[in-house]
């Protein structure tokens, strides 16, 4: 057995988390306060020692919130920093606080309390954005645009209908965050290092103090578990995916070729070299930030892959990726809401484009179906008529009944009512359809539902 | 404008999905049956045409289930294959079936019906596995093993306690699948291509026929949405992460150095070259298959990133990755349950290892804490005693009271009761702790809860 | 120690790879032929036995290529299937073939030989695509389009210049595949299970037989290593990323709003419901398939994360993801080349759009710079002029010298020469710039370089 | 067209990159110095103005390196901060520096110069680690350990052989970094915004000044390209995967059950609650950090997926993920090298374990093969003998010749020489095998090669 040890290696910079976990400080202290009260209640420490500890913790809380707390080089993580300071303040009493708990359950507690708060904030920001969407939809009820599939004109739709599609995506996102919250809001504290504790403690009391709706049921699982972080990152990835789709549309719609919308200059920047540029930077950055959010999810899945139970130090890697996701989602939500509110629509252009490209061809086919032609046959007939029209540079509206009758005797003057773009929109009255009354219905129902939740 | 087109390029192989989407056939037909009944009910097609169509669809269903259905080269996807065959059978009537719907909503319907079924099957398989875990935990209540953190001995625990940790992970997995199912079980049909339909249809009727609990509320969102697939893949990735942790433990525990367990030979294979080998291949493959499940999630997130609304052909890529995830999860669940049931535990070895490595040091510290020493001070004292013992090659049990008193006068004979390994386990009676009564409690509660769900 | 084993569990379906690894058969046999020759050469088996084995292997090769080979249920993988058949044919002699090798090195051999071939095929297909790009660039040298940054008009460029950007991306891709090939083309055979072999073998001979340029240098590394697969998947992910960018442009350029190009109908499909639709499905699918390629990379990285040396069964998961990437890349390359060749450019529209949107503003600023105005000041001046022009609905060309002189006395008639769109393009003569002579230069140099490689 | 703009939204915090791109400052200034010299050389600006600019840039360089540079709120990015300060210092002259370039090529330049430096540093750190590996291999040449496949004992190997496997992984990593560097080390400057520039510039001169080995050939590709970042992240992911395997082994080998090694306490930490703990935190964190490195790769692949040419703001997201990968790789390399150097091997335990578990069974089979038994038959015979021995709790060495002859008359006394563990190791003399002379050969060759590189 030979080895060669030249000199001491300082790995504290490599292992310490204090540079990023200090944002957990308020939760760490709040958790310690509840833990301390429980230790007193269960007579594990005396009332007077408990009072000293509580006083010390509250002072530390204030020092941190006022940025007067001095972090020392040996403060490996926020838990140790707080405890070190507490012992400075209270001596031996502070040393009793860690009875019946461990950093393994403590860090889970801090993370859960932090995430619980952040989910609520994010949900509220989503609600704000939904509100901007609903208001913009209400303001622009008369705007008709080409509806797209495959980025080709498909059928004319209301702009409000299109925008409300994002409302419903966000509704699902909020549901997912709420479902996630159920699994975040579980008390891990006092699972100890992994096996529970031999002290006669009262976890129900701690849960009530800290507002947890339930208590973890297996101490080994409790300290091994980062599911709640990963679930949050998954839900966040979906939300960000929705933003990436919206951002893509904003970028495409802002191109000179589309010119559907104009984004307020607050959300655009110029060029260092091209004087005419007004670039949709905010939308591009939102789209680009999808990368980091997807990557953060993949990071944590990778960290946890194949980790034996229970706590392993690998799990410290959860924090930076979680914090980055929380910050990014909040930042994006904060800029998206005013961006949507300030969108200027070029409604004339949208309408005129909706009229091009035979977007009413489905309605033309439906016209024949209603006169008894099987759908498949009607579809083929109209395709032939579209090709005929294209060859002549005409729209369907510009054909004569005579020309139409060559394809089928069923055509008559009423055809032109059916294929009028506004009529096309108004006719789609199926539930969830683009007819104004149906879109208004979506807006109305969404408001009611929001209140009920 | 110049281009050079040498010859016709056949891209049907590139674009077709029929090679993999045929597993949706039963759902496609069931959906068409409900759609047809609705068209009759709403008088969009006649009763007699409806009957012809229904008869045709049922015949096709049988042809497919009996593998007598002939797929033709021009059958691009399962929807077109079924419609083509229906028109062969019923002529013009068949051509009426596609009224008021589109492939965009139809494929979403098929996927949702398929996934609804599969989530139920997977949940049942998870329940089976949980059952195997509970039964094994009950059978092995007396087995004590070293509890690990950082793959180092931490504190002794019951094997059943450790195994039950997986029960609770799986419990969360089932909850997540149930939450996901709520968002899968929404009727998309009759959203049309993207804008709804002008026919007077009855979506509530279709939803009832097909057992959907709600109806999609925005037709553009409906055909743009693959959230339900991605959410399933996220939930599946978490489940697979849990399996990877279990598989890692099975592999490590099977190593000659650990020898905690022996896996039944059904789950092991030999070597082409080394005659003595018994390799834990099944556990390794489970761990390895985590890669594909994570990759599948990343695939779909990538596909949907930055896609403008509404339907885009990119979305066809959802199927193979979803099917692969479903198949893999079911396969893994199917082998894991008997693997767990057939595990042989080397309980003597586990106990003797639990006694090594000072796994009772926390209890030793707790002994001092209960005699009034602050936790931090007790922790330091016991660390010194552990170092002292290591230097002498002794366990804590092998120290004399005299030796102990050098470190603190508080030690007396009762110390050895406290650090007895069995006592260490029994004493951890906090909720979720490893004391037998608490683990039995977990087992008992989990059974009750399962029934309630 | 208690366990409950109800009945035998058949895990062969779970562990077998024969359903997908049979595509390695030709390489497996070619490798075995070389191995057999070496065993004869080194006198480990006799000449006559060697001859029997070689004859048997060649017969099996023919059976497989003619699809007459019968795979049996017990054939776990392609290596075992071939050996089983060989022993059927040659009896004891066949049993000698596996001397001095193991499945661990054998599967690495097969994979490396397979991948070596596929990299060459993929490189040739990339070269074809580059050729299509160069030819289209040559054909369309006169087409001017708006150059984009942020999907906003930036400066006018040659379409050929834009298209040639993809040529250079592909050039880097081919370099990366060539670099990867160096690390693929290393003989792993006869590393044995992990430790080498005690037979006196000649690995140099085997390497020469099979065309490997070097020999693996550490047998443990050899059987632990899947770097070559992951490197290929990384290089493939980059290639696919490039395709996703091209596909995105093709989709956007095909939208009615852009109408820059028309894709041949071979690469488009219609709609089941909208008779007028011509959707860019091939381009969309290419973009969508990026998901699976990224996911495949992530899959293998996940599989290998934290695997102890040497061979672990997890590594069997490499095959399906590699095969899927190889097939997808080849399929995409096969359709992309004719797609590019058959693109129809709407050059009039592209030019007219290039003239809109003040794409010549940088040239206007450069005009002032050349007259001595510092760049930053010139930039600000022109921005003011652009805003002035926008307010009046004028292009820069439509301003009078008088109007211009209000902003700066340096303006005179020659300004209009400088901001003429064609002149703007022609003037950018820096290396790599969009001036026709510079783009021709790119085309010329790329041809030369291609030959040199 | 209606919109509602309540108040100005400040998005500068959302779009600015100055908080993280300031580490590019030295490269930004070095690039500007070369650009300025070129502008003078090409007579685009005067010598005296050039001198003013150069003086200003050097002062700024010093201000930044001495941390005296004041970043202002309006400094969006490092390029603008430097230019702003330059204009403060030099007035109009500073405004001339941006002639003939753009931020789009400038940021690519800075990134390439930064990455070029970092690749060299990382390569040097890898070389250090390789050196530690070689030295440890040389020091421990006599240590025999069980070689593993499937974490089961396979065949005995030299510890040095196992450790050298990592040397060869790292060798490939260095090759990949060198290949990547070729594509990083290409001058992008003076591609302008996207189309080149109309100034008569000299890119060869700039390339020489800045030590670039070639010049980008297509200006649109130049500003669209982040391949070099993604390639670096891919290569880094592979390196990190290797570290994760090594870290996993270190963790497993440190477990009490294995006890193969002891890590120096510099690389371990204790527990807040368990006094006896010595946890391999550094190795765990290395393994855990694999997550972020994989995630960073996925992030950038996602960002670039489907981005149309040329520059888009999404690309700003490249920086933080690149910087994080660079920092993490360097930090891991910095701790791994001393960790390896200070490893203590428990060589007695390793040897005794190597003797258990029939790790010499392959040699036993080879014994029969050398006596003429076909390998497959020998393999089966030895498997039977192993099972027979297991049943009697004997090792192969403990069987009598008489017992062996029951299985085959070919056995005689010389069998025990062959299956002696040391002999097993010494006999594997194939190239790359575990025989000491072959491992020494690896060490010797690797040293020579290192020098040649």
Please report, rounded to a whole number, the percentage of residues in chain A having pLDDT higher than 90.
81
pLDDT at B202 over 90: yes
> Is B161–A306 a contact, with Cβ atoms under 8 angstroms apart?
no
Report d(CA B416, CA B298) in Å as an integer: 54
CATH topology of domain A15-99: Fumarase C; Chain B, domain 1 (1.10.275)
Q: Which of A98, D122, C61 is nearest to B374 (CA)?
A: A98
* Arithmetic mean of pLDDT over chain A: 93
> What is D32-75 written as a DSSP string?
HHHHHHHHHHTTSS-HHHHHHHHHHHHHHHHHHHTT-----TT-
- How many interface pairs between B and D have CB atoms less than 8 angstroms apart? 136
For range A314-318, the mean pLDDT? 97
Bond prior to D310 in cis (omega within 30° of 0): yes
Whole-number CA gyration radius for chain B: 31
> Is C256–A353 a contact, with Cβ atoms under 8 angstroms apart?
yes
Q: Please, is C410 exposed, middle or buried when counting C-beta atoms within 10 Å of its C-beta (0-12, 13-18, 19+)?
A: middle
Q: Which residues of D touch A8 (CB under 8 A)?
A: 266
3-state DSSP helix/strand/coil % of chain C, to nearest 5: 65, 5, 30
Q: Which residues of A touch D299 (CB under 8 A)?
A: 291-292, 294-296
Q: Which residues of B touch A234 (CB under 8 A)?
A: 231, 234-235, 237-238
CB atoms within 10 A of CB C354: 24
Question: C25 - beta bridge partners?
Answer: none
Who's near A301: CB < 8 A, 6+ residues apart?
A230, B237, B241, B294, B297, C302, D291
Catalytic annotation, pick one of D19, D48, D271, D400: D271
pLDDT tens track for C354-413: 988 788 888 999 899 889 898 888 989 999 999 999 889 898 999 999 999 999 999 999
Instruction: From first to last of the 453 residues of chain D, give the pLDDT tens digit.
Output: 445 555 788 898 899 999 899 999 999 999 999 999 999 999 999 999 999 999 999 999 999 999 999 999 889 899 999 999 999 999 988 888 988 899 999 999 999 999 999 999 999 999 999 999 999 999 999 999 999 999 999 999 999 999 999 999 999 999 999 999 999 999 999 888 999 998 889 999 999 999 999 999 999 999 999 999 999 999 999 999 999 999 999 999 999 999 999 999 899 988 777 777 789 999 999 999 999 999 999 999 999 999 999 999 999 999 999 999 999 999 999 999 999 999 999 999 999 999 887 888 989 998 998 898 988 889 899 999 999 998 898 989 999 999 999 999 999 999 999 999 999 999 999 999 999 999 999 999 888 755 444
* Chain centroid to CA C448: 22
pLDDT tens track for B112-124: 999 999 999 999 9
Report d(CA D69, CA D72) in Å as an integer: 10
For residue B2, name the pLDDT band (cuts at 50, 70, 90): very low
For residues A215 and A204, the answer to whether their CB atoms sit within 8 Å is yes
CA dihedral B290, B294, B299, B300 (to 10 degrees): 120
Query: Taking CA atoms, what residue in D is nearest to A106?
Result: D272
pLDDT tens track for A345-376: 999 999 999 988 788 898 999 899 889 898 88
* Arithmetic mean of pLDDT over chain B: 93
pLDDT tens track for A87-105: 999 998 888 898 889 999 9
Q: Which of B102, B80, B20 is nearest to B321 (CA)?
A: B20
For D61-182, strand residue ranges (E) read: 144-149, 152-158
To probe the interface with B, which of D147, D153, D248, D256 has the most B CB atoms within 10 Å?
Answer: D256
Output the pLDDT for position C447: 82
Nearest Cα of chain A lies from the Cα of D410 at a distance, in angstroms, of 40
Report d(CA C147, CA D221) in Å as an integer: 12
Residues of B serving a catalytic function are 150, 271
Who's near B350: CB < 8 A, 6+ residues apart?
B143, B144, B145, B146, B159, B260
Who's near C415: CB < 8 A, 6+ residues apart?
C364, C367, C401, C404
pLDDT at C3 over 60: no
CB atoms within 10 A of CB D29: 23
Q: Please, is B453 exposed, middle or buried when counting C-beta atoms within 10 Å of its C-beta (0-12, 13-18, 19+)?
A: exposed
> Is B338–C98 a contact, with Cβ atoms under 8 angstroms apart?
no
Out of C157, C217, C244, whose CB is closest to D432?
C217
For residues B173 and B124, the answer to whether their CB atoms sit within 8 Å is no
For range B367-382, the mean pLDDT? 89
Output the pLDDT for position D40: 96
pLDDT at B350 over 60: yes
pLDDT tens track for D398-444: 999 999 999 999 999 999 999 999 999 999 999 999 999 999 999 99
Output the pLDDT for position D2: 47
CA dist list (Å): D446 to B406, D135, D440: 55, 12, 10
Output the pLDDT for position C278: 87
Q: Which of D10, A442, D297, D47 is nearest to B215 (CA)?
A: A442
Chains with at least 3 CB pairs less than 8 angstroms from chain C: A, B, D
The ipTM estimated for the assembled molecules is: 0.95
Q: Which of B318, B260, B326 is nearest to B289 (CA)?
A: B326
Report d(CA D307, CA B419) in Å as an integer: 64
Nearest Cα of chain A lies from the Cα of C150 at a distance, in angstroms, of 6
Q: Which of B361, B406, B368, B412 is nearest to A92 (CA)?
A: B368
More confidently predicted of D267 and A446: D267
For range B367-394, the mean pLDDT? 90
For residue C4, name the pLDDT band (cuts at 50, 70, 90): low
CA dist list (Å): C48 to B367, C29, C54, C59, D81: 78, 19, 10, 17, 80
For range B92-116, the mean pLDDT? 93
Out of B152, B251, B275, whose CB is closest to D277?
B152
| Letter string b/e over residues A128-154, b meaning 16 or more CB atoms within 10 A of that residue's CB | bbbbbbbebbebbeebbbbbbbbbbbb
CB atoms within 10 A of CB C187: 29
pLDDT tens track for B232-291: 999 999 999 999 999 999 999 999 999 999 999 899 988 777 777 789 999 999 999 999
Output the pLDDT for position C1: 42
> Is B266–C2 a contact, with Cβ atoms under 8 angstroms apart?
no
Output the pLDDT for position C271: 74
For residue A424, what are its two tokens?
A: 């096309």
pLDDT at C430 over 70: yes
Q: Do D15-99 and D104-352 show the same overall fold? A: no
Nearest-5° angle of CA B14, CA B16, CA B18? 140
Query: Taking CA atoms, what residue in A is nearest to B284?
Result: A306
Domain coordinates of chain D in residue numbers? Answer: 15-99, 104-352, 357-452
Least trusted range by pLDDT, from C7-21, C54-68, D40-54? C7-21
The verdict on domain D104-352 having CATH code 3.30.1360.120 is: no
Output the pLDDT for position D276: 77
More confidently predicted of B444 and B4: B444
For residue B135, name the pLDDT band (cuts at 50, 70, 90): very high
Output the pLDDT for position A2: 47
Q: Which of D267, D250, D329 is nearest to D292 (CA)?
A: D329
> Is B345–C3 a contact, with Cβ atoms under 8 angstroms apart?
yes
Q: Which residues of D touch B357 (CB under 8 A)?
A: 256, 276
Nearest Cα of chain C lies from the Cα of D160 at a distance, in angstroms, of 11
pLDDT tens track for B10-41: 898 899 999 899 999 999 999 999 999 999 99
| Letter string b/e over residues D66-91, b meaning 16 or more CB atoms within 10 A of that residue's CB | eeebeeeeebbbbbbbbbbbbbebbe
pLDDT at A3 over 90: no
To probe the interface with D, which of A100, A253, A298, A324 has the most D CB atoms within 10 Å?
Answer: A298
- How many interface pairs between A and B have CB atoms less than 8 angstroms apart? 360
Report d(CA A151, CA A156) in Å as an integer: 13
pLDDT tens track for D281-317: 999 999 999 999 999 999 999 999 999 999 999 999 9
For residues B156 and B424, the answer to whether their CB atoms sit within 8 Å is yes
Question: C148 - beta bridge partners?
Answer: C153
pLDDT tens track for A150-208: 999 999 999 999 999 999 999 999 999 999 999 999 999 988 899 999 888 999 999 99
* Arithmetic mean of pLDDT over chain C: 93
Chains with at least 3 CB pairs less than 8 angstroms from chain A: B, C, D
Q: Which of A246, A41, A205, A23 is nearest to A114 (CA)?
A: A23
For strands A186-187 and A214-215, give the pairing. parallel
For residues D385 and D364, the answer to whether their CB atoms sit within 8 Å is yes
To probe the interface with C, which of B256, B265, B292 has the most C CB atoms within 10 Å?
Answer: B292
For strands B144-149 and A344-345, give the pairing. unpaired
Output the pLDDT for position D452: 44
pLDDT at A404 over 60: yes
CATH topology of domain D357-452: Ribonucleotide Reductase Protein R1; domain 1 (1.10.40)
Out of A290, A299, A338, whose CB is closest to D295?
A299
> Is C341–B135 a contact, with Cβ atoms under 8 angstroms apart?
no
Report d(CA D158, CA D432) in Å as an integer: 12
Q: Which of B435, B436, B428 is nearest to A196 (CA)?
A: B428
Output the pLDDT for position B452: 44
Known catalytic membership, residue C395: no
Output the pLDDT for position C449: 56
To probe the interface with B, which of A227, A306, A367, A372 has the most B CB atoms within 10 Å?
Answer: A306
Output the pLDDT for position D43: 94
Q: What element of type H or E holds C185?
A: none
> Is B364–D275 a contact, with Cβ atoms under 8 angstroms apart?
yes
């Amino acid at each position: 057995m030979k080895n060669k040890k030249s000199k001491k290696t300082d790995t504290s910079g490599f292992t310490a988390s204090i540079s990023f976990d200090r944002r957990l400080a308020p939760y760490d202290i709040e958790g310690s306060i509840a833990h301390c009260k429980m230790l007193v209640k269960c007579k594990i420490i005396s009332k007077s020692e408990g009072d000293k500890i509580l006083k010390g913790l509250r002072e530390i809380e204030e020092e941190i919130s006022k940025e007067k707390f001095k972090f020392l080089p040996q403060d490996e993580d926020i838990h140790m920093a707080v405890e070190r300071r507490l012992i400075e303040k209270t001596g031996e009493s502070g040393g009793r606080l860690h009875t019946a708990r461990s950093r393994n359950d403590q860090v889970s507690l801090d993370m859960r309390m932090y995430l619980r708060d952040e989910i609520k904030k994010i949900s509220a920001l989503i609600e704000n954005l939904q509100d901007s969407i609903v208001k913009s939809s209400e303001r622009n009820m008369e705007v008709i645009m080409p509806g797209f599939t495959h980025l080709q004109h498909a059928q004319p739709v209301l702009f409000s209908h299109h925008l409300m599609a994002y409302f419903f995506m966000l509704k699902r996102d909020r549901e997912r965050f709420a479902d996630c919250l159920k699994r975040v809001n579980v008390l891990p504290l006092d699972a100890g290092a992994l096996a529970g504790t031999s002290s006669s403690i009262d976890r129900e009391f701690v849960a009530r103090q800290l507002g947890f709706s339930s208590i973890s049921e297996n101490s080994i699982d409790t300290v091994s578990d980062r599911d709640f972080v990963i679930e949050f990152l998954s839900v966040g990835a979906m939300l960000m995916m929705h933003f990436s789709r919206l951002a893509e549309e904003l970028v495409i719609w802002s191109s000179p070729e589309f010119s559907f919308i104009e984004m307020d200059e607050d959300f655009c920047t110029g060029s260092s070299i091209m004087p005419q540029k007004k670039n949709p930077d905010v939308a591009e950055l939102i789209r680009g930030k999808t990368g980091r959010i997807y990557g953060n999810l993949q990071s944590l899945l990778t960290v946890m892959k194949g980790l034996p139970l229970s706590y392993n130090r690998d799990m410290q890697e959860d924090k930076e990726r979680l914090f980055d996701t929380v910050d990014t989602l909040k930042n994006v939500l904060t800029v998206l809401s005013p961006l949507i509110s300030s969108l200027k629509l070029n409604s004339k252009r949208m309408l005129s484009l909706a009229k091009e490209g035979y977007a009413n061809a489905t309605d033309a086919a439906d016209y024949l179906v209603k006169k008894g032609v099987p759908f498949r046959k009607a579809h083929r007939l109209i395709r032939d008529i579209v090709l005929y029209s294209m060859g002549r540079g005409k729209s369907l509206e510009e054909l004569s009944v005579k020309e139409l009758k060559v394809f089928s005797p069923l055509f008559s003057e009423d055809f032109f009512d059916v294929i009028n773009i506004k009529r096309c929109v108004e006719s789609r009255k199926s539930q969830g359809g683009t007819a104004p009354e149906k879109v208004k219905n979506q807006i109305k129902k969404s408001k009611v539902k929001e209140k009920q939740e």
